[in-house]
Amino acid sequence: MKLLISTVLALSLSISTTAVAVLPPGYEDHMWCPPGECKIYSIPFGDDYSDGPSSSFYFCYNSLTEEVTDGVWTGSLTDVQQPKGWEKPELCSKE
């Protein structure tokens, strides 16, 4: 019985740590933000979480309102189009 519990526990831990959602090229090639916004890098799930698609870490930032929003991601393998007037953002300065 202890062996069965140990096996189930080890299997569930290995599945949960190997299920990483990283998108291949073509799905998140370009990020778009509203005009005048820059992009920021954030680790929303803590320092232990470093895997995942770019959209999990990069966000649009409006320095006037200090609002953070999701960007729109486009790629050659998706039908997503950039919203009209949106721009490829520069990385925000540290100021």
pLDDT-derived band at 80, boundaries 50, 70, 90? very high
Residue 38 backbone dihedrals phi, psi, to 5 degrees = -115, 170
Q: 91 vs 24, which has greater pLDDT?
A: 91
Q: 7 vs 45, which has greater pLDDT?
A: 45
> Has this prediction a pTM greater than 0.95?
no
Mean residue pLDDT across the chain: 78
Quickly count helices (H) and strands (E) in the chain: 1, 5
How many whole angstroms separate alpha carbon 56 and alpha carbon 77? 19
> What b/e readout covers 9-22, taking b as 16+ CB neighbours within 10 angstroms?
eeeeeeeeeeeeee
Task: Give me the mean pLDDT over the 25-45 stretch.
Answer: 90
- Helix, strand, coil proportions of the chain in percent (round to 5)? 20, 20, 55
pLDDT-derived band at 2, boundaries 50, 70, 90? very low
